Structure 1
Amino acid sequence: MPVSKPTPPQGVGSTGSEHASVVQTDSSHSGLFRLSWPLLLAPILAGIVFNLKSYVFQDSPPGSYALCTPDGKNVYTVDARNTRAQCILVHKAMIVDTGSLEQIQSHWENSVVLHGVYTHKPLPVRWTKPGSIIVPGLADSHAHILEYGASQQLPLEGTKSINETVQRVRDYINANPDVKADKSMYILGGGWDHTVWPTSGWPSAADLDADPIIRDRPIVLQSKDCHALWVSSAALEGSLPFPSEVEGGVIVRDESGRPTGTLLDNAQELLRQPKLNERDLMQRFKITVEHAVKHGLTSIHDAGLDPSSLEFFKRQADIGTLPIRIYGMRFFDENGEYWGNITEPLIAYNDGRLTARSVKIFADGALRTGGAALYEPYADNPSTNGFMRLDEEVLFKYIPLFLRDGWQVNVHAIGDRANGIVVDAFEASLARANVTALRPRLEHAQMMTKEDMARLGKLGVIASVQPTHAISDMWYAEQRLGPERVKNLYAFRTLIDSGARIALGSDFPVESMNPLSGFYAAVSRLSPDGESPHGPDGWFPDQRLTRLEALRGMTIDPAYASFSESFLGSLESSKRADFVVLSQDIMEVPINKILDTKVLATVIDGEAVYGGI
């Protein structure tokens, strides 16, 4: 059958049907189903049609199209050879083929001819805009879905002082009549960052209570890193009295021993708050999904702080198709019963939209709040070297148990001591489980000795890292750690060169949700305005990733880290049609232009969930 060869439309790419290509066929084939012995052929043809796979198209192939880039090979497949192509061929939810337009049309034609099925419908060919590229669906390897939605209700990111933060809370109350009218309503916000404030101390309930609009209202404000709560007196009252000490946490107190209104790490769990209803959860979920697809995210690994998050996602999946892919980490409660041997993993539930086959464990606190567990005391606070949120014995008991029972174990570890202990626990698990096959993860892996980085590669432990943390922390990190230890902080290049596999994320709402912010930070180690403590070449520029490493780190590597590389993470035949159209080539443009890139379309299972194709 001769095939016409449509050319890309001139000017702006088409998203409609006016530029669709037409597969022309010889009219002599039109008699295929009008032979004189139809009764003989009928059962044969019926059998052929019945056994057709996704590659074979009948009379009217629903959801079939080729998407091509007009500037040549601007489809980054991220396959094993990092192949680039001109087009992808999609049928329903799957990718059928990649290649040139001629190859794609030949595949379409041969699928028809080989199976003896004639298609009366042309193959639609859609063109992206000139200069744009197509990449696999972007994934965030570490984020907090419902917490992000909550933070957007009263965002405190960017405030420069305690007073400015209080002002923002007051403005929120004044701008919402229903909130202002009900003084008993809990007001939740998040994103404050004391490291950029001129004062060195923690904020207090008194700072909130001093404002007449805020006074007597229950206010709960989550810190930027989610490791501290700043609350009003009205919010504290219902939770008192507090214990004298909290293992793995700190209750900030005044000189008289009274709680001031700041709770760190495990102490946050002491605060009693009203239980969220389904409407609250749905509102947060919708906000996050709406923002995520606008940024090109098709998959999110939820490291939820709230153990009820996964139950909510499961309920939504039972109601209908989840709007985005979620890899959920189950909550670990050291005081609860061990459940690894009695709970079934949730794998590819809801047509591959929801998986929960891992457990999330917290080893230590955060560098920003001084809770990261270090081998040596903090340079700016020699009275402490941070703290472990769990006893070492707990890690050495439960990590091997979960691995033995087939669970991926993902451990939050920030400081060099915490990371060292967790790697020890993984190593000790070798006698009970194939550690590499279960793909355990260090969530953050922020500061590690070179020896421990080398052990990651040998054990097959994945480093789930967040490049935007590096450019946020670079301004205070050396003061906190000193000039030598800081070299082992966010040492991404050393991790890779040691043989470790990485997966990139943002930890949103701690940092920007935009995955291109992480891409930019990974390859530049510069602030968005092009600055760093070490100048325009970036903060410790020898630790930069290449653009290809960064792209793989937000596509195929997160897929591997979530056991989904067989159907996600790259644009290859038989994989899900999850992809993103970007306005410019992030692999080629100058570094200072990367953040100008726009998402033109986000596609999940072959259908645009944002923009259009």
Structure 2
Amino acid sequence: MLPPTYRSGWPLIPSVSPAPPPDASDMPTPPSDDSHLRKRTPSEKPPSSRNAPATPTTPAQSPSHGVPNPSTRTSKLLVALISLALTSYFAYNKLGNIVQPSSPSEPYALCSREGAHIYTLDAKNPRVQCLVVNGSKFMSSGSLDQVLSHWHETTPGQPHVRFLKPGQIVVPGLSDSHAHVLEYGATKQMPLEGTKSIAETVGRVRAYIEADPDILEDKTKYVEGWGWDHTKWLLEEWPTYNALEADPIVAGRPVVLQSKDGHALWVSLTVLQAMEPLPDEVEGGVIVRDSFGKPTGVFLDNAQDLVIRPEPTYKQLQKRFAATVKDAHSLGLTAVHDAGFNPMSLEFFRREAQSSTLPIRVYGMKYFDETAAYWGDSFDKIIRAGNNRLSVRSVKIFADGALRSGGAALYEPYTDNPETRGFMRIAPEMLNEVIPKFMKDGWQVNVHAIGDRANGVVLDAFEAALAKANVTALRPRLEHAQILAQRDMARFGDLGVIASVQPTHAISDMWFAEDRLGPERVKGLYAFRSIIDHGARITLGSDFPVEDMNPLAGFYAAITRVSPDGTSPHGPGGWFPEQRMTREEALKGMTLDPAYASFTEDILGSITPGKFADFVVLSQDIMTIPASDVLSTRVVATVMDGKPVYGAI
């Protein structure tokens, strides 16, 4: 029986914004050595995807699951009356008083009136009408009748019920399996992406200096930026320090500019002179020189370690982290895998986790420095610290460089530069030595490998480790796994190696890849379907700030293999369309598979009773709408531990 009066809906549960960073004194982060300057730890990354959002469209209708799909006006009216009655019923307690959540921690149900529009990624119950959250965890899922019946059997009272708006869906909290958290925050300082020439890039540096009086008036202050991409300039060439010195405002200052893919640094004459004397060669890296043998100011891969700069302060790192988290939450990300904790970033995240609950889940890979002593048997792993939000139980090793800069290690020479096959950044002998050691000591080993030779060498090392460790149980990962020889494809599944890939790299690189690799070898580049068909798991990431942070951009690239404007070198059907992923595989690659790849599938990755209530409300159904409409999808709410951190439910 309906109550005598009716009040529609429930108060929105608002997002819970992370508390602002404490007003810590602007003191330097405790250094990892005795110096206030650090050698730059390289981080890998090729070029960016241009994500131009499409115009929003009306979502396609999908079949209802668990709820009738009325086709007549009468049945629609009946469903509306039932919905009204249910909403009214839950708006009142047994005394007839309106019940409103006093805090977001109270139990609630979130349901769709349109059918099973909650994608759980739970194999036992893949699509449901409702989910129920109790505290920080999912309590149950199913149809409205099922969840209410379960509630009545286990819990006194009634859950608060909210309904999705028409067209909206729910998916588990999204994860980015390969990202650079603090580096992304740093790119907000002076972004250089999108310039068309060296002169335009220098112009941005000048504008940045002129906009900051402290830097303008003090020529000793370091000027740092990120994102230049020489392959996108009208004249494709490496920059030099001369271009920086030619501008009267920029000249004479210490300037350090990181390339878009993270594999090159461009520095000013002031920085170059401070680095002298330079070695003739750097193993696994290149000091770019002119025709007279003089350094030009560009350093590739391991040679970047020679560049020194001041350590950022703790307060600066907090600002970078906060900037990253703000964008991540707005895009539906609840977890990130940080692909390379150097001593500074490791100490920062450890300190943050000890002082407060991290605002996002972070799975960190501890950076391996081949010049340092082996530490796998002495460093204590960090597992689910800070309220299950920080883990450091994997090691990150760099095998080679990047395809864009010609550093990816290939079996055969580059088609467009037959004089080189790229290079390994670490000797195969060392890989065969340290990988079994780390695995024996219980570490997950994650290796950056781009070229087919690099991937083959790393798979050899994983295979050799079988004698000392259960490789599959330790879930080793090939980060990028970009170019694979056919003979290496099957070894992923056989060894239990996870392919950690970035789909937006594919639609960025497809425009130059065949010129670089040739018509046959290019077929092994970003071969996602072949990897899956050989029994391997694929986990998806963006490599932000190299590519767009938006996980839906990766979803779109994985299922279409076309640019955001719908084009590709092979036409609108996609670049090597036979390598596309299904939507189900792509969603799994952003949810359940990243949880598996970070040893958290028992608590994260799906909407399953007992797991932490991380989920995302999307404005339209990415599983059914035309692929061209995916990029117009908005994140309505991002929820962690049952509480919105972005938007409202």
TM-score, normalising length: structure 1: 0.90
Q: How has the CA–CA distance of structure 1 residues 24 and 109 changed in structure 2, closer, same or farther, with 3 Å as cutoff?
A: farther
- The correspondence for 1:471, drawn from 503, 507, 516, is 507
Residue 460 (structure 2) aligns with? 424
Q: How has the CA–CA distance of structure 1 residues 319 and 26 changed in structure 2, closer, same or farther, with 3 Å as cutoff?
A: closer
1:559 aligned onto 2:595: yes
- The correspondence for 2:302, drawn from 254, 266, 269, is 266
- The correspondence for 1:387, drawn from 407, 411, 423, is 423
- Contact 2:240/2:298 (<8 A) preserved: yes
Residue 546 (structure 2) aligns with? 510
1:463-485 C-alpha deviation (Å, 9 max, x unpaired): 00000000010111111111111
1:224 aligned onto 2:260: yes
- Contact 1:3/1:25 (<8 A) preserved: no
Q: How has the CA–CA distance of structure 1 residues 243 and 550 changed in structure 2, closer, same or farther, with 3 Å as cutoff?
A: same
CA distance in 2, matches of 1:478, 1:61: 53
CA distance in 1, matches of 2:178, 2:283: 25
1:381-432 C-alpha deviation (Å, 9 max, x unpaired): 1110000000111100000000011100000000000000000000000010
Residue 491 (structure 1) aligns with? 527
Residue 460 (structure 1) aligns with? 496
1:285-305 C-alpha deviation (Å, 9 max, x unpaired): 111111111110000000136
Give the letter for the 1:15 counterpart.
L
Residue 231 (structure 2) aligns with? 195
1:30-75 C-alpha deviation (Å, 9 max, x unpaired): xxxxxxxxxxxxxxxxxxxxxxxxxxxxx99942111112321110
CA distance in 2, matches of 1:152, 1:64: 38
- Contact 1:229/1:263 (<8 A) preserved: yes
- The correspondence for 1:100, drawn from 140, 143, 150, is 143
CA distance in 2, matches of 1:3, 1:222: 65
CA distance in 1, matches of 2:543, 2:636: 24
Q: How has the CA–CA distance of structure 1 residues 23 and 339 changed in structure 2, closer, same or farther, with 3 Å as cutoff?
A: same
Residue 571 (structure 2) aligns with? 535
1:15 aligned onto 2:12: yes
Q: CA deviation at 1:137?
A: 0.3
1:80-105 C-alpha deviation (Å, 9 max, x unpaired): 25611111100111000011122222
CA distance in 2, matches of 1:364, 1:171: 35
Give the letter for the 2:414 counterpart.
Y
What secondary structure does 2:90 align onto?
coil
CA distance in 1, matches of 2:285, 2:628: 41
1:344 aligned onto 2:380: yes
Higher RCO, Cα 8 Å, sep 6+ = 2
Residue 50 (structure 1) aligns with? none
Q: How has the CA–CA distance of structure 1 residues 222 and 99 changed in structure 2, closer, same or farther, with 3 Å as cutoff?
A: same
- The correspondence for 2:127, drawn from 72, 75, 84, is 84
Q: How has the CA–CA distance of structure 1 residues 25 and 488 changed in structure 2, closer, same or farther, with 3 Å as cutoff?
A: same
CA distance in 1, matches of 2:213, 2:624: 49
Residue 209 (structure 2) aligns with? 173
1:206-230 C-alpha deviation (Å, 9 max, x unpaired): 1111111111111111111101001
CA distance in 2, matches of 1:96, 1:3: 27
Residue 405 (structure 1) aligns with? 441
Residue 36 (structure 2) aligns with? none
The within-5 A match list for 1:60-139 is 62-81=105-124, 83-112=126-155, 118-119=156-157, 122-139=158-175
Aligned residues: 571
Residue 245 (structure 1) aligns with? 281
What secondary structure does 1:303 align onto?
strand
Residue 41 (structure 1) aligns with? none
Q: CA deviation at 1:591?
A: 0.9
CA distance in 1, matches of 2:600, 2:7: 34
Q: CA deviation at 1:174?
A: 2.0
Which shifted more, 497-506 or 66-75?
A: 66-75
CA distance in 1, matches of 2:614, 2:193: 31
- Contact 1:8/1:70 (<8 A) preserved: no
CA distance in 2, matches of 1:156, 1:335: 32
1:334-382 C-alpha deviation (Å, 9 max, x unpaired): 1211111122211111111000100000000000100000001111111
Structure 1 runs not aligned, ≥5 long: 28-58, 113-117
- Contact 2:341/2:366 (<8 A) preserved: no
Q: CA deviation at 1:492?
A: 0.3
CA distance in 1, matches of 2:144, 2:161: 9
Q: How has the CA–CA distance of structure 1 residues 321 and 21 changed in structure 2, closer, same or farther, with 3 Å as cutoff?
A: farther
1:533-584 C-alpha deviation (Å, 9 max, x unpaired): 0000011101000000000000000000000000000000000000001110
Q: How has the CA–CA distance of structure 1 residues 417 and 60 changed in structure 2, closer, same or farther, with 3 Å as cutoff?
A: closer
- Contact 2:266/2:299 (<8 A) preserved: yes
TM-score, normalising length: structure 2: 0.85
CA distance in 2, matches of 1:188, 1:69: 48
Q: CA deviation at 1:7?
A: 12
Residue 163 (structure 1) aligns with? 199
Cα-Cα RMSD? 2.2
What secondary structure does 2:488 align onto?
helix
What secondary structure does 2:12 align onto?
coil
Q: How has the CA–CA distance of structure 1 residues 434 and 125 changed in structure 2, closer, same or farther, with 3 Å as cutoff?
A: same
Residue 48 (structure 1) aligns with? none
Q: CA deviation at 1:14?
A: 6.8
- Contact 1:14/1:128 (<8 A) preserved: no
Give % identity.
Answer: 61
- The correspondence for 1:444, drawn from 480, 490, 507, is 480
